[in-house]
Structure 1
């Protein structure tokens, strides 16, 4: 038990250093790895003290600690299983709209995560030219331009028609991405309906009967670890039949993203976002 805890602590510190050097995430959620390392060291010291003074320590103390640790590991495992149910998607062809979620934009250009999402978007519209892409993401305080604008520039440069793109530049979180993108889709649908009403064409009386508008099909495109949460938020915020389209993520940061996503899912569930 002790050597497992020590090994875990060492691996967490090493991984923290790797991701800090690799992507400059030292001041963000990556500090969780130092926290886990410290926790493992505390548990190691506590276990050694319990072994030396077993007769003086009430049984409920080690039982409570082990129960909490096992519960935490179980919750993490269940959430991660749910996360990767979002990767296995059904038929996502010929969707009316696909919401492409933004990611950080640096002074030097788009990040690797955002590039993977955009490359997947290019691949998707090549196969489904009738789909409209909703590019979602505002400008952060440390970003040179809005994420949606950087996404548009990349997609247009790679051959996507600009009239095939809708920009949503107000959102700063996944919840806002979905909520404002839904508004953008509804506004686009209203414009299309108004154009149809203003240009009815020639109609022969009795030659047709009016039918209700066909339900639109909406998808959300994001990184593999992020699809499940995006879908659940969309269902909560008025897009019940949302299709998930996943792209790969950075292999070096993959474990970090999975841990961060677990925390984000628990938070969003707790505050009622999903």
Structure 2
């Protein structure tokens, strides 16, 4: 019974690998993990068969260690997938101060399907929240004609988003850099807005100025906590939010764009590996 289940799962992993290659190409990132899973499952079936015939020669700690490692791996993967799914289901928070729109690959004459889905989500949010600034984050890769930020800007403006609502960050090459460089852009923009506000206040006359002056000195009023959103593909929301919190954003909300339905499971598994990597590297 157990052997049959493991072999069926191995076959399913192999079939899914073929689907990924046919659908998205052999160069799809991390696609060979499914062949690894298939080989591991077959190895477990063979190991179980071999152990049943050589129990006397094989120490008991060997099968116990293998089973414990596999169970721990399955539990870890399940927990990480749950967190990824939880991020994908994040409710949309209205009225945020800034929304960081994470870039994705730009092709020679068009944008990728993943980036289009993110931008269409950004258009919807911008129309419903005209006072929110969108930070378009993404640098220029070696095989990209323009920076991802510039391509996003052109797409959004063409589709009716006001240019003054858009801020560009065009240096980043990873999710960590997306957040780090976007933070610099946001801080500079907030400083600019603060200076403009102070200049307006100095020119104001009448009752509105009473709360600003007291004995000839300006009263400093704390700004409300800054609220930002991170808009990215659904499978990517959890990690992006955790990285943003690591970089000092205390009020962070995820905004989920649709992911490719065929590749969604693969993207979630790949994202689990990225979560582990970023956690070990101290990025989140």
Which bracket does the TM-score occupy, shorter chain normalised?
over 0.9
- Stretch deviating more after TM superposition (22-31 or 166-175): 22-31
* SS across alignment from 2:32: helix
Normalized against structure 2, the TM-score is what?
Answer: 0.91
Contact 2:119–2:156 (8 Å) recurs in 1: yes
- Cα distance in 2 for residues equivalent to 1:226 and 1:220: 10
Tell me if 1:208 matches 2:211: yes
Structure 2 residue runs of 5 or longer lacking an equivalent are 213-218
Normalized against structure 1, the TM-score is what?
Answer: 0.94
Q: CA deviation at 1:192?
A: 1.3
Tell me if 1:266 matches 2:270: no
- Cα distance in 1 for residues equivalent to 2:282 and 2:7: 37
Contact 2:140–2:170 (8 Å) recurs in 1: yes
- Cα distance in 2 for residues equivalent to 1:203 and 1:87: 49
Task: Call closer, same or farther: CA 1:43–1:175 in 2, change over 3 Å.
Answer: same
- Cα distance in 1 for residues equivalent to 2:186 and 2:266: 33
Task: Call closer, same or farther: CA 1:25–1:182 in 2, change over 3 Å.
Answer: farther
Once the two structures are superposed, the pairs formed by residues 66-215 of structure 1 within 5 Å of their partners are 66-89=67-90, 92-199=93-200, 200-204=202-206, 207-209=210-212, 210=219, 211-215=221-225
Which residue of the partner structure matches residue 248 of structure 1? 258
Task: Call closer, same or farther: CA 1:24–1:228 in 2, change over 3 Å.
Answer: same
Task: Call closer, same or farther: CA 1:8–1:89 in 2, change over 3 Å.
Answer: closer
- Cα distance in 1 for residues equivalent to 2:271 and 2:259: 13
Which residue of the partner structure matches residue 229 of structure 1? 239
Q: How many residues align?
A: 274
- Cα distance in 2 for residues equivalent to 1:37 and 1:144: 38
